[in-house]
Amino acid sequence: MIDILISVLIGVAAVISALMAIEEKRASRSLLFFVFFAVCLTGFMIHSRLLALALMTLALSLGSFAFIAVLYSLSSEEKDYKRVRGAVVAVILAIALFTAIGRIGSLSQPPETILGLHESAIPLILAHGIFILALALSLRVIMKEGERA
């Protein structure tokens, strides 16, 4: 019962903060809601007993937060919204997915002790670290080429 209560709380908080991050006009508040959304996601991971992945999610979503903060200085203020079109498409999509997902039976309880990553995942993380490094270098090349052009 407590598990269900916590999951409902985390779900509602995440959905509301995601909506507010999109709807809020002031950049600072929008970013704040995005951070709260990331914290809710981390809460979901911890509640599902995935501590290592929760920390990774939090770190990387805070990285995205930095990117979005940079982008806010480049964005213009919005005046005309297409709310109705977006809302209609989103509701239709959600209803279709709810119908499809409704066929899935009740999920079993997760195993009790999944707190860390398996040893075999460590080389994968290192490989991804190298990948991210290569990405950073290629971004630098892209930026330099763009400046030259």
Partner 1 sequence: MSYLNIYLYFSIVLLAVGVYGLLSRKSWAKVLISLEIIVFSALVLLALVLLYSNYLGIYVGQTFLILLIFLDSSMTGILLACILLVYRRFRARSIDDMSRLRG
Residue 91 engages partner 1 in binding (rule: CB under 8 A): yes
From 29, 97, 126, 137, residue interacting with partner 1 (rule: CB under 8 A): 97
Residue 83 engages partner 1 in binding (rule: CB under 8 A): yes
From 26, 103, 109, 148, residue interacting with partner 1 (rule: CB under 8 A): 109
Three-class SS of residue 132?
helix
Residue 112 engages partner 1 in binding (rule: CB under 8 A): no
In one-letter notation, the amino acid at residue 54 is A
Residue 118: HSE in the Cβ half-sphere, 13 Å Cα cutoff: 3
Q: How far is CA 16 from CA 36, 40, 53, 78, 106, in A?
A: 10, 11, 23, 21, 26
Residue 126 engages partner 1 in binding (rule: CB under 8 A): no
Residues 6+ apart with CB under 8 A from 55: 42
| Distance of alpha carbon 107 from alpha carbon 48, whole angstroms | 13
Residues 6+ apart with CB under 8 A from 116: 51, 52
Residue 50 engages partner 1 in binding (rule: CB under 8 A): yes
> What is the footprint of partner 1 within residues 9-38 (CB under 8 A)?
10-11, 14-15, 18-19, 21-22, 27, 30, 34, 37
Residue 133 engages partner 1 in binding (rule: CB under 8 A): no
Closest distance between partner 1 and the C-beta of residue 111, in Å?
7
User: Binding-site residue total for partner 1 (CB under 8 A)?
Assistant: 79
Residue 137 engages partner 1 in binding (rule: CB under 8 A): no
